[in-house]
Amino acid sequence: MNVMFQKVAMLGLGLIGSSLCLAMRKHGLAQNIVGYAKTPETRQVALEIGLVDQVYATAAEAVCGADLVIMCVPVGACGQLAQEIGPHLSPGAILTDVGSVKGTIVRDCASFVPQGVHFVPGHPIAGTEQSGPRSGFAELFENRWCILTPLAGGDAAATAKLEAFWQACGSNTELMTPDHHDLVLAITSHLPHLIAYTTVATASDLESVTDTEVIKYSASGFRDFTRIAASDPTMWRDVFLNNKEAVLEMLGRFTEELAVLQRAVRWGDGETLFNLFTRAREARRNIIAAGQDTASPDFGRVQKKS
């Protein structure tokens, strides 16, 4: 037990919010956890399964007296939320978020944060394709990275305390500027999601291959794309609307590379294909070496016949 905050206000209790509640419980990081959620259903579930000690129907009530406030809502909803809670934040409190885009969050929120409250935007690089208050688990952040993007001139002690909090949840932490964060995530996350969505859409609209066939034979690669493409639609709409420039830049580069491979397929250029495939395999080995995935041969997916 290492109580770091007296009262933590969780604004939004979806996958990340609920996982954070469970992680705080597991490691004893908060004396008191209160929550806000938009729907009565989520508020009820959150109490029922013990994510929070109290739950409120407005964010303004939830943040009263909290020394840590975490916005766990879609990127596009953060600005309005900050505006709503701004007048109710306690002096000395740390305000953070978990959004996948940082530039527009800073733009949309910073002006609503009163003097004396420390706004330190953050982004835990962790998740699953699930959503909702029942999808969380305490281990979600273990051995994952959490990026903080403190503002110029911000309070260094607040940043350090938030770093320590994420580390106590099992994460590694890293500091960078909001703009650099958005570029890094455009390639590691936003582009792969857009591509996965596109692939699934392509498969849905074929006349020559039925949906049933696509599903039956999905184990051959398509399946992994659908997992990524199953993430929350609202969250991802907001990501693309809020990281437009970096996503378009990465898309342009992707399209160029794809043209090269397409040409190699058309002209039967096996050497170009082989060399690129070999290079890609190397990238995979580096990810396993860095502990960001497992090399176990069945990937935890062995299923018994029912």
Residue 257 engages a copy of itself in binding (rule: CB under 8 A): yes
> Applying CB under 8 A, which of residues 31, 40, 87, 129 lies at the interface with a copy of itself?
129
Binding segment for a copy of itself (CB under 8 A), chosen from 37-45, 64-72, 157-165, 266-274, is 266-274
Q: Closest approach of Cβ 62 to a copy of itself, in Å?
A: 25
Binding segment for a copy of itself (CB under 8 A), chosen from 21-29, 79-87, 101-109, 177-185, is 177-185
Classify burial at 23, counting beta carbons within 10 Å of its beta carbon; exposed 0-12, middle 13-18, buried 19 or more: buried
**Where in 206-225 is the site for a copy of itself (CB under 8 A)?**
206, 208-209, 211, 213-225
Joined tokens for residue 233: 């639609």
Residue 276 engages a copy of itself in binding (rule: CB under 8 A): yes
Residue 306 engages a copy of itself in binding (rule: CB under 8 A): yes
Residues contacting residue 134 through CB under 8 Å, at least 6 positions apart = 18, 45, 49
Binding segment for a copy of itself (CB under 8 A), chosen from 38-46, 107-115, 151-159, 294-302, is 294-302
Q: Closest approach of Cβ 28 to a copy of itself, in Å?
A: 17
Binding segment for a copy of itself (CB under 8 A), chosen from 5-13, 61-69, 77-85, 121-129, is 121-129
Q: What are phi and psi of 55, to 5 degrees?
A: -135, 145
The C-alpha torsion from 19 through 23 and 25 to 26, rounded to 10°, is 130
Q: Which is nearer to a copy of itself, 114 or 254 (CB)?
A: 254
Q: Closest approach of Cβ 147 to a copy of itself, in Å?
A: 7
Among candidate residues 110, 89, 124, the one with its CA nearest the CA of residue 9: 89
Residue 274 engages a copy of itself in binding (rule: CB under 8 A): yes
Pair 23, 169: CB distance under 8 Å: yes
> Applying CB under 8 A, which of residues 31, 116, 157, 237 lies at the interface with a copy of itself?
237
**Where in 9-48 is the site for a copy of itself (CB under 8 A)?**
none
The three-state secondary structure class of 244 is: helix
286 C-beta neighbours (distance < 10 Å), count: 9
Residue 202, CB-side half-sphere exposure with 13 Å CA sphere: 8
Residue 49 engages a copy of itself in binding (rule: CB under 8 A): no
Q: Closest approach of Cβ 131 to a copy of itself, in Å?
A: 10
Residue 145 engages a copy of itself in binding (rule: CB under 8 A): yes
d(CA 285, CA 299): 15
Give whole-number Cα distances, 104 to 76, 116, 154, 163, 187, in Å. 9, 22, 18, 22, 18
